[in-house]
Amino acid sequence: MPALTCGRAAVEKPLMQEINEHRMLIIALIDQVLMAITIRRLQSFITVAELGGFRRAAEELALSQPALSAHIQELERFLGVPLLRRTTRKVQLTSDGTVFLARTRRALAELDAVVAEIEERAAIQRGRISVASVPSISANVLPRILAEFTATNPGITVEIDDDRAEIIEGRVERSEVDFAIGPAPEHSTDLAFKHIVDDPFLAIFPRNHALATKTTVSLKDFVRYPIIAMRTGLNMRSVIDNAFAKSKIFLRPRHEVNHHETLTGMVESGFGVGMLPALTISIMHHPLLASALIVKPTITRQIGIIQRRGEPLSPVASQFADTLSERFVELIQTPVDIGKSMRLPKARSRGKTGA
């Protein structure tokens, strides 16, 4: 008998739990229906008051005039006072109706604001972001910021699309990504740019080069040696060309290349000297190279957030963009740090190269 009692209790418990769950669901549905009816009544009243008549209000709300009249009558019956004064030509507010209209507008506006705020918070807690980035950032600062962001926002998925500056600009323009982080766009009028940091250019040369003992190199000293440069048309090259033009110094590269890995390899092999942004140099590992900050003039490129002009970011994308902006400056190396990291203990000498 005790065994039978226990088995019966075990059956009754999940049954009662299921009944209670259904009861709560029904109560919630009734509450939702009542709230919808109440808000609909209020919206009906506001529309009639603003348009000054039942016919136009019924068309605006996609209701029949009898249904709209019923809404107003139910509302007046609930409040116990008339809200509208009806004539053959128009509808006017009573004194109570005037007060009720002002309060109702404020109440519904506040309700809309609360709903929007909650929806925005929910969107921030979960979602998907697509971000384009140049490799010097996606291989350096971005992974650390992304790790911090996803640790505090586990419901958000962030996709990274890394490519050259010219490519990521096009992806932003075509709405293939939410935004990009990279150098300032040069020509596009469809893109907006939010500056985060300046990325200075450094001269690079073999560690046994005549310039290897210097921490800074003037542009005039730099051009005395054969130059390996990025190819014309690339973002890096455009920044360099502008700097040379402003200094009235003629740039005549010995070799031009498409990729910075090729440039550093040729410099390391003694073909000449090169010039790259500090962020790019910071992701490279070339123990046979040294670097020095370009001065007189200092050459920099602006790094920042790139997005479509006139189109706000989604709440979750905006949150990640703000995080990037705040943490980026804190995490990057200074040109001095980069120079020190490249000045490792001397490797076996490969002979003096004045190039």
Please report, for the domain that includes residue 313, its CATH number.
3.40.190.290
Question: How many domains in the chain?
Answer: 2
Q: Convert the pLDDT of each residue in 286-345 to its tens digit.
A: 888 999 999 989 999 999 999 999 999 988 899 999 999 999 888 875 554 544 544 433
Q: Find all residues with CB under 8 Å of 247, minimum gap 6, and list them.
A: 219, 297
Looking at the fold, whether 261 and 159 belong to one and the same domain comes out as: yes
Final residue before a domain boundary, out of 95, 124, 153 = 124
Q: Are 160 and 320 in contact (CB under 8 A)?
A: no
pLDDT at 230 over 50: yes
**151: in domain:** yes
Average pLDDT, the chain: 82
**65: in domain:** yes
**353: in domain:** no
Looking at the fold, whether 86 and 143 belong to one and the same domain comes out as: no
Round to the nearest angstrom and report the end-to-end CA distance of the chain.
Answer: 100
Q: Convert the pLDDT of each residue in 151-193 to its tens digit.
A: 988 888 899 999 999 999 999 999 999 999 999 998 778 899 9
Determine if the peptide bond prior to 143 is cis (ω within 30°).
no
Q: What is the pTM of this model?
A: 0.60
What is the domain extent for residue 141? Answer: 128-342
CATH number, domain containing residue 25: 1.10.10.10
DSSP per-residue string spanning 153-173? -TTEEEEEEE--HHHHHHHHH
pLDDT at 62 over 90: no
**51: in domain:** yes
Looking at the fold, whether 136 and 59 belong to one and the same domain comes out as: no
Name the residue with higher pLDDT: 169 or 74: 169
Pairing of β 156-162 and β 179-183:
unpaired
Cα maximum dimension of the chain:
105
Q: How far apart are CA 175 and CA 66, in angstroms?
A: 47
Looking at the fold, whether 169 and 259 belong to one and the same domain comes out as: yes
